Amino acid sequence: MLALEYKCCKFDLHSPEVNFWEDLESKIVECVRNTLDKRVQFYEDEIRKLSEQRFMPVWNFCNFFILKESLAFMFEIVHLHEDALREYFELEICYTETVKIPGKQRDFGGLEHGDDQATLLNSGKKPLTQIVQDDSFREFEFRQYLFACQSRLLFKLNRPLEVAARGFTFIINFSKALSEHENILPFCMREVWVISACTDLINATASRYSEGLVAPDIEKEFYRLQGDLYSQCRTKFMRLAYLIGYGTNMERSPVNSASLSMLPWPKPAVWPSVPPDASSKVLAKEKMILQETPAVKHFGIQRKPLPLEPSFLLREANRRRASLSAGTMLEISGSDAMSKMFPSHKAQTSSMTRTNSSPGLDSSIDRPMRLAEIYVAAEYALQSTISDPELWKSFSSVKEFEQKYLELTKGAADNYHRSWWKRHGVVLDGEIAAVCYKHGNYDLAAKSYEKVCALYAGEGWQDLLAEVLPNLADCQKILNDEAGYLSSCVRLLSLDKGLFLTKERQAFQSKVIRLAHSEMKQPVPLDVSSLITFSGNPGPPIELCDRDPGILSVTVWSGFPDDITLDSLSLTLMATFQADDGIKALRSSTAIVLKPGRNTITLDLPPQKPGSYVLGVLTGQIGHLSFRSHSFSKGGPADTDDFMSLEKPTRPILKVFKPRPLVDLAAAVSSALLINEPQWVGIIVRPINYSLKGAVLHIDTGPGLQIKGSRVIEMESYADSSDDSTGVKTNGALENGPSTANKDFEQLTLHKGRIEFPDWASNMTSILWIPVRGIGEKLARGSSSAAPQRTSIVDGMRTIALKLEFGISHNQTFERHCDSLSPSQVFTLAVHFTDPFHVSTRVADKCNDGTLLLQVILHSEVKAKLTIHDAWLDLQDGFVHTDRGDGRPTSGFFPLVISPASRAGILFSIRLGKSDAEDVARTLQSESILNIRYGISGNRSVGAHPPVGIEHSATEDAKQDLVFRSALILQRPVLYPCLAVGFLPLPSGGLRVGQLVTMKWRVERLKDFETEVSKNHDEVLYEVNANTENWMIAGRKRGHASLSAMQGSRIEISILCVPLVAGYVRPPQLGLPDVDEANISCNPPGPHLICVLPPALSSSFCIPA
Amino acid sequence: MATTACFIIVSRNDIPIYEAEVGSAPKREDAAQLHQFVLHAALDIVQDLAWTTSAIHLIYSIPPNDSVLFIPCRFMLLHDSRNDDGIKSFFQEVHELYIKVDSI
């Protein structure tokens, strides 16, 4: 009752309930579901029962299959695809186990027409009734049927990737199964089926696959599977094509060889024989074989072709035929066709075996077949095997074959490119390139070959690169791609030497040289880094001083098989410390011939900036071709296989030191030389660990100095006490050899201000003596002992500008300051000149008779012994000598010897008075002149010395007379001057800082001015001089004061001063500029000091601290 | 049965750094090239598998002060007869030797 209620609904025609239809629908659905559940339950129970009885004799797979498939069918109808799939998987497992049971094996199947076309994706192609045989199913059809059902469900579940993956595995496994039953199947059934299966699977999965819906990894895996399917299909297709004689149209490349040479030949029960009416075809095939010419590689490369077959087809085919004898085989193998096909192969008969002849074969089978016959027989047999007209069409002609071959290769390559397996893709690109090349499509071929070469070269697989690179080179040559062709030739030469014969390598080189010397359309730099490598010589880097040129020796390794002439060569140096402007190119313009292997070349090295340098880029020219190499060789071929050496830091090849003093020039003598006399000036030249070979010294004298005699410049070795020079001297002596070791003196010539150094002076300290004359126009002036005034040392200073050019190419210049970057800077040497004496005078005594004893004190100014032979005094106006008129002291004084830095005195007796009439000419003379005739004996290495030219010519007795003149000013005694200036006493209270004080001087006329009558004699010009640091003067410092011309007239000049500093200071001085010093008598006579007290303490006068 | 095998060490940049033909079969002239080709193509598969399985030993190490330098590389053996145990022990030996040589 309840069940009825559950299943029934009441429908009132007049007033239907609102929810009636919905209720009805839900109830129907419920009923259907219940029914399904019950049916499923029932089937599952039945299947369980059958499974339990599986190993019982009564068990029947057919019943099991019906139940299983019915259940799967039910699931599929209600869209329970996963469940349906599970049932089919279980069915497949069960079937696989069933067919393996011994004794249960039945007919395999696959013998019907059209079975060569795979049905792995089409479950309905054959009705199941045809598959069933007794209680079992034929494996050939049933396994495909099961896979077709699975794939149908997988496609419904939108899982094409799984179809592809399972499909590929299925094809591989099924192919094995086919090979096991190959002897009962038609000829090459297995290969044809695989081609068909792969094609179907590719088309079905690709059409149902939509890009971008899955993760990238899964997508790449899908394309990899597609690539594998294409690749598998391609291999089988090539095998079939080979069997019918298209082998000569296939590239014997590594990929084809690897695919085919490891794939065994088909193993039919008996190899197909030639049909009786095929003689014309056999003839045609033979003709084709004879016409085939082996492909000649570019550059005349002779290489054994790679095999496309696992063993000789001729032998394999005949072996598989019955009643074949070894003797007849030999006859066949000697035929032209055989030798044409396999020029390098020798017939091997030892491994031949006989097979038992199969019954039922006609008698003609005993005769071994020729190759052409094998092709024709295979063609006929395949024609009967292949039911797909499209596939057969692909074998109908070479053109059709190539089209299909290309299609499959492209398919595989494209899919591999989309997957992770890039290498597979690139390799197959090479196969496409081979076809393009064959058809004259060189552009495409070159592009594809480039990809392959880039892959092999990038990963360093040289054997494989050597196979492809000649093909690329050939394409480039045909395309007139000179740059590419050259580059390929260079790469061929760079490959391992064992990969090519020497003759072939020489051919590569000759191509490069021929092209380099021809007119290239677009000359491009050629990178020969792999062929020409270079390195610095082993050992420490070359060390150079700043601005020095040098010679760089570089080892260059040539990978060319023959000598090669480089028209020019250039090598850059890169500074390690800076990258911007540190690149310098060294050029060698002369042609260099590189031998194969190691070469040493030398390059001139211009001066470089300080720092370390490494080798950069090698560039050069071969004919019109410029090349460059970036590659450092690692010291020879022994290291070339060290793959880590690419990361080694490059070794510095050159070190240029920072500027340092290379030579020192200094004055040899620091003491003064005689002025106005030719003197030797010594210049010490001290090389500091640097050779001065060929050095040139430029000499330029400053004002007041001239070089005397250009031919007597002397140079001698100089024994320096410092350690450095001793070492240098020793080294120099060793380098120069014993002949020059003792040579330490030479006279040099000054030519246009230049002196060239002798070689012996290159490495030793030497001294250069140059005769010079310091010119002093001024007459020496004596000074009073009361007011000693020494002449300034600057007056006697003269300069010599020296510029020393040295180094290998006079690139070095001596600089005083090493850190200076100015190369033109010259060294200025100061030379001090002086008079032999400084003269001071004093009045030694004033006698009652008016005689004055004038003491002349001579200070020796030089470091040399002076001998005074004579002295006389030319007195000024107003003084006369007392006794004789010659003005000479007692002759017994002379010769008077004055040691260096000592003093001597000479007394002159004079008196006041008018000179004689004959001396009128001298009356205007206002100064007395002291004349001294003297001689000097000194050493030039110490200081002043006898004048140049005299010392050599003069004998010992000869007087080395020099005359020294000095002006003296004699002041008249106090009573005689015209004017007296007296400093009036200061206030008794003393002076204080800041306090006004009046300074007063009294000027008194002592006598008339005879000489100044005409002038305004009633006025006198005065001037007050004061140190402005000590005094502030208020009022006029300079002015005219009225002073009567009468004797005894006097005036007072006062001026207001403020002392500024405390202590003993010199007071302001009153001077009378218009009056000669000798006519003024001063009181006090010389400078004196006065005391200034500090300021009184006062709150209103503060000095800041 | 004559067997042949080709052992190769491939550096981290996929450059072959060592190659040895081993086996009792007479050496064919063209074999080297074919073996190289197969091994080179197998790099695709090895690289693919390297991401999916831990069964392949990958040697990676950062050299401490350059004293010991482990260079990441791959050992590959092309063989024509299946002998998993033999191949496994061969690789173990090669690995040990490589570490020894590399540590010198």
pLDDT of residue B22: 78
Question: How many C-beta neighbours within 10 Å does residue A19 have?
Answer: 9
Note whether A576 contacts B: Cβ–Cβ < 8 A: no
Token pair in block for residue A334: 């000697």
Nearest-Cα residue of chain A relative to residue B14: A459
Q: Which of A1066, A981, A1062, A1071 is nearest to A1025 (CA)?
A: A1071
Contacts of A224 in chain B (CB under 8 A): 48
> A992 forms bridges with which residues in the sheet?
A1093
Strand A597-605 with A928-937, pairing: unpaired
Tell if the CB–CB gap between B34 and A306 is shorter than 8 Å. yes
Strand A991-992 with A979-983, pairing: unpaired
Quote the minimal CA–CA distance from B94 to chain A in Å: 20
Residue type, A677: E
Quote the minimal CA–CA distance from B60 to chain A in Å: 16
Determine the residue among A464, A501, A530 to mutate to test chain B binding: the one whose Cβ has the most chain B Cβ atoms within 10 Å. A464
DSSP secondary structure of A89-108: HHHHHHHHHHHHSTT-----
Partner residue facing A254 (CB), from B29, B34, B45: B34
Note whether A420 contacts B: Cβ–Cβ < 8 A: yes
Is it the case that residue A170 has pLDDT exceeding 60? yes
Token pair in block for residue A677: 């006399």
Q: Which of residues 587-616 of A touch B (CB under 8 A)?
A: none
DSSP secondary structure of chain B: ---EEEEEEEETTS-EEEEEEEESSPPPTTHHHHHHHHHHHHHHHHHHHHTT-S-S-------STTSS-PPPEEEEEEESS--HHHHHHHHHHHHHHHHHHHH-
Is it the case that residue A1089 has pLDDT exceeding 60? yes
Tell if the CB–CB gap between A421 and B45 is shorter than 8 Å. yes
Is it the case that residue A917 has pLDDT exceeding 50? no
Determine the residue among A260, A418, A424, A459 to mutate to test chain B binding: the one whose Cβ has the most chain B Cβ atoms within 10 Å. A459
Q: How far apart are CA A245 and CA A337, in angstroms?
A: 12
Q: How far apart are CA A847 and CA A826, in angstroms?
A: 61
Is it the case that residue A924 has pLDDT exceeding 70? no
Residue with tokens 């600057």: A794
Q: How far apart are CA A352 and CA A311, in angstroms?
A: 11
Contact partners, residue A723, CB within 8 Å, separation at least 6:
none
Average pLDDT over residues A14-36: 84
Q: Over the range A45-64, which residues count as b (16 or more CB within 10 Å of their CB) and which as e?
A: ebbeebeeeeeeeeeebeeb
The single-letter DSSP state of residue A796 is G
The predicted-structure confidence for A572-590, as pLDDT tens digits, reads as follows 887 776 655 556 777 877 7
Tell if the CB–CB gap between B43 and A423 is shorter than 8 Å. yes
Tell if the CB–CB gap between B40 and A261 is shorter than 8 Å. no
Tell if the CB–CB gap between A460 and B15 is shorter than 8 Å. yes
Residue type, A641: D
Half-sphere exposure of A696 (CA within 13 A, CB side): 11
Tell me the range of A239-243, A310-314, A368-372, B97-101 where mean pLDDT is highest: A239-243
Note whether A644 contacts B: Cβ–Cβ < 8 A: yes
Determine the residue among B4, B33, B43, B74 to mutate to test chain A binding: the one whose Cβ has the most chain A Cβ atoms within 10 Å. B33
Task: Tell me which long-range contacts A298-302 makes (C-beta under 8 A, separation of at least 24).
Answer: A298/A470, A298/A471, A298/A473, A298/A474, A298/A477, A299/A470, A299/A473, A299/A492, A299/A504, A299/A507, A299/A508, A299/A511, A300/A503, A300/A504, A300/A507, A301/A470, A301/A500, A301/A504, A302/A501, A302/A504
Q: How far apart are CA A466 and CA A505, in angstroms?
A: 12
Partner residue facing A254 (CB), from B37, B43, B71: B37
Angle of helix A279-291 relative to helix A371-385, nearest 10 degrees, comes to 120
Nearest-Cα residue of chain B relative to residue A260: B34
Give all strands of the β-sheet with A783-784 in edge-to-edge order: A783-784, A837-846, A851-860, A903-912, A879-881
Q: How far apart are CA A835 and CA A405, in angstroms?
A: 114
Nearest-Cα residue of chain B relative to residue A422: B44
Q: Which of A653, A414, A418, A615 is nearest to A529 (CA)?
A: A615
> B10 forms bridges with which residues in the sheet?
B16, B74
pLDDT of residue A740: 41
pLDDT of residue B53: 63
Partner residue facing A424 (CB), from B16, B41, B71: B41
Which run of H or of E encompasses A281? helix A279-291
Average pLDDT over residues A828-842: 84
DSSP secondary structure of A814-853: --SSTT---TT--EEEEEEEE-SEEEEEEEEEE-TTSEEE
Question: How many C-beta neighbours within 10 Å does residue A7 have?
Answer: 12
Q: How much is the pTM?
A: 0.65
Which run of H or of E encompasses A793? none
pLDDT of residue A799: 84
Is it the case that residue A1071 has pLDDT exceeding 70? yes
Tell if the CB–CB gap between B30 and A306 is shorter than 8 Å. yes
- Where are the domains positioned within chain B? 4-11+18-61+74-102
Quote the minimal CA–CA distance from A224 to chain B in Å: 10
Quote the minimal CA–CA distance from A258 to chain B in Å: 6
% of chain A exceeding 70 in pLDDT:
81
Tell if the CB–CB gap between A464 and B40 is shorter than 8 Å. yes
Partner residue facing A257 (CB), from B13, B32, B34: B34
Q: How far apart are CA A896 and CA A724, in angstroms?
A: 44
The predicted-structure confidence for A419-455, as pLDDT tens digits, reads as follows 989 899 999 999 999 999 989 999 999 999 999 999 9
Give all strands of the β-sheet with A979-983 in edge-to-edge order: A1031-1034, A1050-1059, A997-1005, A979-983, A1080-1083
Quote the minimal CA–CA distance from B25 to chain A in Å: 15
pLDDT of residue B62: 39
Instruction: Judge contact between A194 and A171, C-beta under 8 A.
Output: yes
Instruction: Judge contact between B32 and A306, C-beta under 8 A.
Output: no
Tell if the CB–CB gap between B37 and A255 is shorter than 8 Å. yes
Q: How far apart are CA A971 and CA A785, in angstroms?
A: 12
N- to C-terminal Cα separation, chain A: 133
Contact partners, residue A694, CB within 8 Å, separation at least 6:
A756, A757, A759, A806, A810
DSSP secondary structure of A165-208: HHHHHHHHHHHHHHHHTTTTSPTTHHHHHHHHHHHHHHHHHHHH
Query: In whole angstroms, how large is the CA radius of gyration of chain B?
Result: 15
Tell if the CB–CB gap between B36 and A427 is shorter than 8 Å. no
Average pLDDT over residues A932-938: 86
The predicted-structure confidence for A687-720, as pLDDT tens digits, reads as follows 888 888 878 888 888 888 888 776 678 888 887 6
Contacts of B43 in chain A (CB under 8 A): 423, 459
pLDDT of residue A407: 95
pLDDT of residue A433: 93
Tell if the CB–CB gap between A459 and B15 is shorter than 8 Å. yes
The predicted-structure confidence for A1008-1042, as pLDDT tens digits, reads as follows 655 544 455 677 888 888 888 888 888 788 888 88
CA angle A979, A982, A986 (to 5 degrees): 160
Partner residue facing A423 (CB), from B29, B36, B44: B44
Question: How many C-beta neighbours within 10 Å does residue A308 have?
Answer: 21
Residue type, A456: Y
Token pair in block for residue A240: 């079939």
Mean pLDDT of chain A: 79
Is it the case that residue A552 has pLDDT exceeding 80? yes
Nearest-Cα residue of chain A relative to residue B48: A420
Token pair in block for residue A723: 């350690």
pLDDT of residue A973: 59
> A999 forms bridges with which residues in the sheet?
A1055
Nearest-Cα residue of chain B relative to residue A459: B15
Is it the case that residue A226 has pLDDT exceeding 80? yes
CA–CA distances in Å: residue B31 to residues A854, B5, B26, B38: 124, 10, 10, 10
Q: What's the residue count for chain A?
A: 1105
Contact partners, residue A241, CB within 8 Å, separation at least 6:
A247, A249, A250, A395, A401, A405
Residue type, A548: D
Contact partners, residue A1021, CB within 8 Å, separation at least 6:
A1038, A1039, A1040, A1072, A1073, A1074
pLDDT of residue A445: 93
Is it the case that residue A341 has pLDDT exceeding 60? no
Is it the case that residue A724 has pLDDT exceeding 60? no
The predicted-structure confidence for B32-56, as pLDDT tens digits, reads as follows 778 888 888 888 888 877 777 655 5
Is it the case that residue A637 has pLDDT exceeding 50? no
Q: Which of A515, A458, A505, A506 is nearest to A485 (CA)?
A: A515
Tell if the CB–CB gap between A261 and B34 is shorter than 8 Å. yes
Dihedral, CA atoms, A765, A771, A775, A776, nearest 10 degrees?
60
> A874 forms bridges with which residues in the sheet?
A929
Instruction: Collect the ranges in chain B with pLDDT lower than 70.
Output: 1-2, 25-31, 53-72, 102-104
Q: What is the largest CA-CA distance in chain A?
A: 189
Nearest-Cα residue of chain B relative to residue A253: B34
Contact partners, residue A577, CB within 8 Å, separation at least 6:
A611, A612
% of chain A exceeding 90 in pLDDT:
18
How many Cβ pairs closer than 8 A exist between chain A and B?
66
Q: How far apart are CA A553 and CA A1072, in angstroms?
A: 83
CA A184 to chain centre: 72
Note whether A429 contacts B: Cβ–Cβ < 8 A: no
Partner residue facing A467 (CB), from B33, B44, B45: B33
